[in-house]
Structure 1
Amino acid sequence: MTNPFSYTPELDNQIAPAVSRVLNQDVRSAQRITRGEYNHVYKVVTNKQSVIARVFRMDGWPEVEKPSWLEAKLSELNIPHAKLLYHSRGDEFFPYGFMITEYLEGQSGWEAIDSGKIDFSKFHEKLSHILARVHGIKADKYGSLTDKDEQRSSFVDWKLHKLEKSWKKSQSVTSYDTALFQEVKEKTITVLREMESKFTPVLMHGDASPDNCVIGDSGEVILVDWDSAQASIWVNDYSYIMYWGSHMSSLGLRTERAEKIFQSSGEITKNTDFSEGELKRIIQALHILQAVDLLPYYYFEQKNMEAYENTKLRLGELVK
């Protein structure tokens, strides 16, 4: 794996000339956005428009062809999104390249919920409406949207491949033993294998939390930040949303918030493929896999020991 392109204050001075050069516009300001961002992200105001510039931290992530693939698919179905204006995987300033998209005016989902602009349940009702359209975009296989080496014909095989990679990396820093790994496999793969015949690969946003939504003046919910998009089962998007429901502790217990999301999401309640019990078993299995995925992410990439320890505790609770 290549070394990440880490942030330095010099980056703040490089973003304006880079945007000015590729858009051929005068840059008036560039403000770094730090909340919850994996790549280096800036809001840039030019003499003609406001844009988001995203400098990539890693080589090959997001996948080289993914931004263009997503732009074509979302535009084809007229799904609201921040349109792609520029994309490069190599630049004189940024070794792994950068991309520029439209800047969408409005509050983030969490800000809108917290301020009372939109009700928690109503927000997820609207989000589900958008996700149902996203999930209408079919894929050939599971995994990467554009990298064939990271695609699998079976959803379970793809998840098992990811589980083993994450677990191998996690074991170098955790005290977990082989018995726990086998328990994780048993509780997840068995459930998913049982229902795999009903699974179909579709486009998944991959991180459709309220943080990655913009609420416009009309109340429309628009998904942004598609870096984690991949081909998965449609339920996987909801498992992510429910896992991250812990952000809004003022709205009740985590289980209560998850149930509100579940019951507010029309794509869930109106589906005819799975019973409510089956969906909750799938989501539980996906939550276990997500916790395993997050352990090396928090430890190695974010170096966030508090989040790492909390995730270990949550994994223990999930596999009980």
Structure 2
Amino acid sequence: MEELIIRIRKKVEELMHAKVDDIEKLENVPNNSVYKILVENKPYIFKIYKQRTWPEDGKLIFINRKLIENHIGCAKMFAFDRNDSFFHTGFLLEECLPGVTADQIVFDSELGKEFYKKLARLVSKIHRIQIEGFGYIGSGIASNNSFIEFMNDKYDEIAKALINKKLFDKNSLLEIKKQVINRLRFCESLPSVLNHGDLSTKNVMMDKHGELTLIDWDDAMSYNWIADISRMTYWMKFQYNDDEYVMCRNTFMEHYSTDSSNIDFNAFENTFHVWIGLDHLNYHANKPQYEETLVYFKETVDKLNL
């Protein structure tokens, strides 16, 4: 650990041309190692990635540039590097935004409505950023030409992992896939737009004026707008009781608007929840969250047949 701190200090001082005053590791951060760095009384974030291939090379730099071009608030990025011999899985250096993440704030009904109203307007701006192709973004052009093509390939990837873990049999997943893909064909004409990929309160910074900024773009992809919001409402299902869920979801939808948002979200939300649910089942395999995730997954699959 001591050697790691020395390496971080050296790298940050090299990049910022200034002395590092303090380094603090942030706890309860899944997947990656994150440190808060103080340089000349200004805070920065230094993130060391767990995987060499995720996020994709070039993606975060591309997104940071697009957000700035479209006058959308974001943490300024100073470096993203996978060529360093010590940090061989890659590291990120960016500014640390003022405020707290929204998951640390206790909202009453009125504050909750105000929060989701502001979030809807912010996400609307983000979903106006169109990207060529669907799926993994890389340096700006996504991996697949077709939405259905990518959804089909990604479904197979998730299904294979679940089968290998002996959590599902192949035939049941094939049957679910037919229903999911057939339903999603009806929104194939929607444009490919920047998706945050993990819309939840833990990834929203709120400053002292109540202004919101999305952080942690590691899971960003190019999908249609419904896919991104469906991930958010899927997350809501596990965070709020029924009344809170309805209030937060409906407030967001009432204030969300883009040029392509005239398609009925309700018609596709459950289908996306099935697809997202499989992804979460794979992630939560052999973890306490698995059973709760499975219960909701079965509910969403049952609704496919209604």
2:56 paired residue among 14, 38, 63: 63
Which of 92, 96, 99 is the matching residue for 2:85?
92
* Partner deviation per Cα, 1:174-231 (whole Å, 9 max, x = no partner): 342233213321331121112323x110111111211001001111111000111111
Whether 2:303 is the aligned partner of 1:318: answer no
Kindly tell me: are residues 50 and 175 of structure 1, through their superposed partners in 2, closer, same or farther at Cα, counting changes over 3 Å?
closer
Of 68-77 and 40-49, deviating more is: 40-49
Q: What is the SS of the residue equivalent to 1:92?
A: coil
- Shift in Å, 1:59: 1.1
Q: Which residue of 2 aligns with 1:3?
A: none
**Identity value in percent:** 26
The answer as to whether partners of 1:32 and 1:41 remain within 8 angstroms in 2 is yes
- Find the residue that maps to 1:319 and give its secondary structure: helix
- In structure 2, what is the equivalent of residue 285 of structure 1? 271
The TM-score, its normalising length taken from structure 1, stands at: 0.85
Q: Distance in 2 between matches of 1:34 and 1:182?
A: 40
The structural deviation recorded for 1:13 is: 4.9
Does 2:191 align with 1:200? yes
Counterparts of residues 164-203 of structure 1 (less than 5 Å): 164-197=156-189, 199-203=190-194
Partner secondary structure for residue 115 of structure 2? helix
Distance 2:259 2:131 in 1: 22
Judge conservation of contact 1:71–1:83 (CA < 8 Å) in 2: yes
Where 2:37 maps in the other structure, the secondary structure is strand
Question: Using a 3 Å threshold, how does the CA distance of structure 1 residues 16 and 109 change in structure 2: closer, same or farther?
Answer: same
Mapping for residues 145-294 of structure 1, pairs under 5 Å: 145-146=137-138, 151-197=143-189, 199-246=190-237, 248-249=239-240, 252-253=241-242, 256-265=243-252, 266-267=255-256, 273-275=262-264, 279-294=265-280
2:135–2:142 CA contact under 8 A, matched in 1: yes
Partner of 2:122: 130
Worse overlay, 179-188 or 52-61: 179-188
User: How many angstroms does 1:259 deviate by?
Assistant: 2.6
Change (3 A) 1:315 1:152: same
Amino acid at match of 2:246: E
The answer to whether the 8 A contact 1:52-1:100 is kept is: yes
Structure-1 separation of matches of 2:198 and 2:116: 14
Q: Deviations over 1:263-302 (max 9, x none)?
A: 2122269975213xxx123111111111211233334xxx
Partner of 1:5: none
Inter-partner Cα distance in structure 1 for 2:79 and 2:140: 24
Amino acid at match of 1:292: L
Classify the secondary structure of the residue corresponding to 2:184: helix
Moved over 6 A (4+): 147-150
The change in CA–CA distance for 1:11 and 1:280 in structure 2 (over 3 A counts) is: farther
- Select 1:142's aligned residue among 134, 137, 144: 134
Tell me how far 1:77 sits from its aligned partner.
0.9
Q: CA deviation at 1:147?
A: 6.3
Deviations 1:120-161 (A, max 9, x none): 222111111111111111111101122699622221221111
Gaps of 5+ in 2: none
TM-score with structure 2 setting the length: 0.89
1:33-54 CA distance string (max 9 Å, x none): 2334332111111124110111
| Paired positions, count | 300
Name whichever of 260-269 and 207-216 sits farther off: 260-269
